[in-house]
Chain A
């Protein structure tokens, strides 16, 4: 404020003229406008994180440990950009507020300032470099097969084939390993992927036609399915339940139809499920009816 008083009157013309257009009311409006949003953001974040029952905050915690780590990365980035957002908005608000009080004060023309350019190049680079290094182990665990848990890598539990517009699932027979090519005793299901909980499991993802994306939002798993490729995905569900499995890549007019489910269940239930599938698949009209009651309605 004090500097505004000592400032010399601006020369007519030149770049200062730009700042002198518009009345003080307009300048105050823009000042209020840019300060308003960080305040709203802060209030909203505080309410939604302190009162989770409102359901304004992000969806609940992941049901996998890896998902939790992915969430942590997400929150870290969110905190950084929130701080940057609030800081820049407040700085902008301050500048506008000062300008709205004095007709005479001239802006400091910073173009070409070497030290400023160094600062705003180096600070974001350091932050980005930090993020790049910090997330490496999570990325490797999530995407690079060599870093998958060994138990998952050794025995994929199923092959999931996306096609317009459904998920076809192939399991190996109980006690056998999944083979690249279909086997006579393989078990088939559609749109209902079963997996045991508390065990790292791997599935092989394929596509029969176009690009799809295998998305388990509750497990923070998302992977494109690409025709001609077999892409391994692993996860370790830590909670029993039925979770949504959707297609996250617009794959055609029936894209919305690709809504399937993941049934995460205890190991014994998973084994029982495979047994039931096997009994159903061998049904010849004479098997025990209880084993096939559900499928042969």
Chain B
């Protein structure tokens, strides 16, 4: 082939590659009405500016120290200097050395806390774990002396971003809005983190997901959905940094949603048009008025934007921190009630009772997920009124089906304790309600025993025996 043809081919291929990837250097912002009604473009600009200030972009992320995110931090001191590379010793008690031993460290921030470079920060160009030496991206102005102390920070966030971009982003989206390039082909849709809600947790109904909950989902996958298990491909330290990055994205999304919800009242997208209709003022006058009001709101130190962000993030911090405390984890006060026929019968009786847990209303009389609520019009609490389509909806406004319990697929795990937690605390972001207030723990165990027996209800032991696989004749000779 001639050089020209090659060049053309390269251009076409490059175009094809660029065409199917999003711009990895920019965070996406909510543009649609799914989470909040559209706000005025000037208000939208305010939100985007705030988010960029506190979270940065994927390639230049900001570690907002207020948030309970483990950004990664390692302290150490200089041992010697060899040309441009600095040989160092990390303090033994520093916790995040795992993250440091990876090539992903590159570009983490370095800050000298003593010596001639005190207070100066640099980006790292490379780190060599075997030599324990690093080089900075730009040369140090003054060579550090032996014993100079420094801090390396942010490596977890950077490492997490790289792994997230490789494994998660194409479904969950660059900003965790569950709208990545492959998301539209999936049913159920990938989780949109921006509500800060994760469905399958060990924590109580009012608490966020804990780090362990997120890690469990990534390592076990979610059967019945497109979420696969990422273990053993990802190692423990990699799971840990991905979890941190996801929590960070969730917090970013929460702040975005809260800001949009706050601003939409006063700065709806159609405000100028509406007011122009109602009053004699021209659209441009109203536009100017909006801009002025917004400016005042942003500038007001006590009742303005800053105060609002302060409150929202304060709540967010305590909510995420709360999920890490042991007393929010649901542990059944009594051991599992023995899985006897009598217990299952009791469970079934509770299941079909219309004034108890009301399982039957959604899951149907035999657990097939066909209760009458799936055929009814449901209230839309967020937007008011009713949903257009029949059936249940989740917090993300997506239609959702109650689990068909005969299939034996348990998305949040099949251990008795998993089912207990689902029934006791409900499933966050879904119509599955917590029953702990009205149903006793022993009764929840009866329900667990019944639910776990539903897939086998019709199969008699005799019929199951006849289905032994061992003696199956082979009709396959497929080679690969």
Contacts and interface: CB of A to CB of B under 8 A. Distances in A.
A297 B216 contact: yes
Interface in A130-188: 143-146, 153-156, 159, 163-166, 168, 177-184, 188
A284 B416 contact: yes
Given A164-B228, A166-B228, A190-B221, A226 B470 contact: no
Interface in A180-232: 180-184, 188, 190-192, 204, 213, 222-224, 226, 229-232
6 contacts: A168-B223, A179-B465, A191-B229, A232-B472, A280-B415, A284-B415
A231 B478 contact: yes
B473 interface: yes
A210 to B, nearest CB: 13
Given A177-B470, A204-B469, A284 B332 contact: yes
A259 B469 CA distance: 27
A283 B417 contact: yes
Contact of B474 (A145, A254, A283): A145
B34 interface: no
A179 B417 CA distance: 26
A154 B232 contact: no
**4 nearest A-B pairs in the assembled complex, by CB-CB distance:** A145-B474, A284-B336, A286-B335, A166-B228
Interface centre among B221, B445, B476 (most CB of A within 10 A): B476
B166 to A, nearest CB: 10
Contacts of B182: 253
B405 to A, nearest CB: 13
A226 B479 CA distance: 11
A144 to B, nearest CB: 7
Interface centre among B216, B221, B331 (most CB of A within 10 A): B221
Contacts of B334: 286
A283 B221 contact: no
Interface string B249-281: 000000000000000000000000000000000
Nearest to B230: A257
Interface string A65-103: 000000000000000000000000000000000000000
A190 B220 contact: yes
Contact of A283 (B216, B416, B445): B416
Nearest to B331: A285
Contact of A223 (B220, B416, B480): B480
B416 A230 contact: no
Contact of B470 (A155, A164, A254, A282): A155
B302 interface: no
B336 to A, nearest CB: 4
Nearest to A143: B477
B469 A213 contact: no
B96 to A, nearest CB: 18
Contacts of B336: 282, 284, 286
A274 interface: no
B467 A284 contact: no
Interface in B79-93: none
A264 interface: no
Contact of B233 (A180, A223, A232, A259): A259
Contact of A144 (B221, B455, B474): B474
Nearest to B216: A297
A31 interface: no
Interface in A22-78: none
B374 to A, nearest CB: 25
B456 interface: yes
A159 to B, nearest CB: 7
A180 B332 contact: no
Contacts of B453: 184
Given A144-B474, A179-B469, A183-B464, A286 B332 contact: yes
A153 B228 contact: no
Interface string A106-117: 000000000000
A146 B232 contact: no
Contacts of A159: 469
Contacts of B452: 184
Interface in B376-426: 408, 414-417, 420
B459 A181 contact: yes
A178 B464 CA distance: 11
A261 interface: yes
Interface in B190-225: 212, 215-216, 220-221, 223
Contacts of B167: 257
A291 interface: no
Contact of B228 (A223, A254, A280, A286): A254
Interface centre among A155, A182, A229, A284 (most CB of B within 10 A): A284
B469 A257 contact: no
Contacts of A165: 228
Contacts of B233: 191, 257, 259
A280 B414 CA distance: 10
Interface string A273-297: 0000000111111100000000001
B231 interface: yes
A248 B459 contact: no
Contacts of A146: 474
Interface in A262-279: none
Nearest to A260: B232
B468 interface: yes
A249 interface: yes
B416 to A, nearest CB: 5
B159 interface: no
Contacts of B231: 190-192
A281 B232 CA distance: 20
